[in-house]
């Protein structure tokens, strides 16, 4: 076993400012690596009123200064992103501040490895430090925010960065295939995302989530979707389905967990359709509340246009929920049509969403089959497997 190795993990945003899939990935990975005597230092962007250094969940977090105005900086956060170009401006603003703090830490402490989440700006910063201080670098590519949704003009820059990393980790087979094909990168490996294993039987047996007056014993479906409230997640389609669902299932409830620019628009849409009483949009919630929501729900719906390896979908499997997803390559690695869920054809139609929900909820045999298979499928995505696979890569490189 490697003794007392220090690793720096670079990520643009982190708790408490933002808490998306990448942030939970870093949090869970760094906590899990403690088992292998890996001490992680998380370096991230600082915002107003946040400390430059603090301990979060037992992990050291150091924040660098990005000297752009606070309003501009917040546009670099996934839930607030208004323009790809503004996000790139914020990324450029990160370069100087992050290089300064990273250089200081690496000169002061013995750092065995730098691990970057995302290609830019953190991957580029890692490459610079690697060249200056000869510290090896791993880059994890998550997919949407650092590859699929980035301007094609930056592909050459991406290739330059990834070729110079010691290892490029992709979170799905499809993402690894696309990066190899489009960027001609060979130093890749695929490690599936993982989440902590949770026994949802406790939450399901509660029957009542009193905080939100959700009673599972009432004969109505409770449908849930989780993730950032942005247009690409297509939360509005599920709200538009509520009027038709209500005619088949009076009192149907739709839970949309997450935060983002579209939150007020979703409320306005619900009011326009007269379904305010059917929706719950609480914003970011604690992990315990999220598990309560998943435990009380019947069906998980995920309509995102693009993902790398969705942690939300993985959590749905641990919660043994039947799932409805678009028939796309990103979802196919987790959900199989007719096995643990159903596919929607693109372009997605409201009546198709309603039909799929009705098929699952109204047929006990189908529901129980999908539920059972989701739970069985969850064993592929345990946090323990993910952490062990990353530790294996760490060992190879640190030698």
Q: What is the CATH number of the domain that holds 36?
A: 3.40.50.2000
Q: Are residues 53 and 188 in the same domain?
A: yes
Q: 118 and 12: one domain? A: yes
Residues 210 and 224 in one domain: yes
pLDDT digits (tens, 9 = 90+) for 166-181: 999 999 999 999 999 9
Q: Are residues 207 and 184 in the same domain?
A: no
Domains: count for the chain: 2
Whether 2 has a pLDDT exceeding 70, the answer reads no
| Span 39-43, average pLDDT | 98
| pLDDT 10s digits, 252-311 | 999 999 998 899 999 999 999 999 999 999 998 999 999 999 999 999 999 998 888 999
Domain hosting residue 142, numbered range? 5-194+382-398
**Strand locations in 232-302 (E):** 253-257, 279-283, 299-301
Mean pLDDT of 22-47: 96
Dist CA 337 CA 323 (whole Å) = 9
- Name residues whose C-beta falls within 8 Å of residue 89's C-beta, 6 or more positions apart in sequence: 68, 72
Asked whether 259 and 79 are in contact (CB, 8 A), the reply is yes
The 10s digit of each residue's pLDDT in 213-262 is 898 888 899 999 999 898 989 999 999 999 999 999 999 999 999 998 89
To the question of pTM greater than 0.95 for the whole model, the response is no
C-alpha 209/C-alpha 216 separation (Å) is: 8
User: For the residues of 274-292, what is the DSSP string, one character each?
Assistant: T-GGGEEEEES--HHHHHH
Question: Of 212, 213, 169, 162, which is closest to residue 184 (Cα–Cα)?
Answer: 162
* Sheet bearing 299-301, strands edge to edge: 279-283, 253-257, 222-226, 299-301, 323-326, 341-344
Q: Is 102 helix (H, G, I), strand (E, B) or coil?
A: helix
């Amino acid at each position: 076993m490697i003794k007392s190795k220090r690793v720096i993990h670079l990520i643009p945003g982190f708790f408490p400012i933002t808490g998306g899939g990448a942030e939970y990935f870093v949090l869970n990975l760094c906590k899990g690596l403690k088992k292998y005597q890996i001490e992680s230092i998380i370096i991230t962007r600082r915002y107003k009123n946040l400390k430059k250094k603090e301990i979060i969940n037992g992990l050291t977090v150091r924040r660098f200064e990005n000297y752009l105005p606070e309003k501009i900086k917040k546009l670099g956060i996934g839930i607030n992103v208004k323009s790809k170009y503004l996000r790139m401006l914020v990324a450029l603003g990160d370069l100087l501040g992050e290089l300064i703090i990273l250089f200081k830490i690496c000169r002061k402490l013995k750092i065995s490895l730098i691990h970057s989440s995302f290609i830019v700006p953190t991957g580029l910063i890692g490459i610079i430090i690697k060249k200056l201080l000869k510290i090896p670098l791993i880059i994890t590519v998550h997919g949407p925010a650092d590859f699929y949704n980035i301007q094609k003009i930056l592909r050459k820059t991406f290739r330059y960065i990834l070729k110079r990393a010691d290892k490029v980790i992709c979170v799905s087979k499809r993402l690894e295939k696309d990066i190899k094909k489009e960027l001609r990168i060979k130093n890749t490996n695929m490690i599936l995302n993982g989440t902590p294993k949770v026994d949802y039987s406790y939450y399901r047996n509660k029957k009542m989530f009193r905080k939100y007056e959700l009673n599972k014993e009432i004969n109505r479906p409770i449908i849930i979707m989780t993730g950032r409230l942005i247009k690409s997640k297509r939360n509005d389609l599920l709200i538009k389905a509520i009027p038709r669902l209500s005619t088949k299932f009076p009192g149907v409830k739709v839970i949309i967990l997450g935060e983002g620019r579209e939150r007020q628009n979703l409320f306005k849409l619900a009011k326009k359709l007269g379904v305010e009483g059917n929706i719950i949009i609480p914003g970011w919630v604690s992990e315990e509340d999220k598990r309560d929501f998943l435990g009380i729900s019947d069906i998980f719906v995920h309509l995102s246009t693009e993902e790398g390896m969705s942690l939300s979908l993985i959590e749905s499997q641990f919660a043994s929920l039947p799932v409805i997803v678009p028939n796309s390559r990103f979802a196919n690695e987790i959900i199989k049509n007719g096995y643990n869920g159903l596919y929607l054809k693109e372009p997605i139609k409201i009546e198709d969403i309603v039909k799929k929900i009705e098929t699952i909820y109204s047929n006990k045999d189908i529901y129980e089959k999908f539920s059972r298979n989701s739970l069985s499928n969850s064993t592929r995505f345990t946090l323990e497997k993910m952490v062990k696979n990353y530790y294996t890569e760490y060992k190879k490189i640190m030698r």
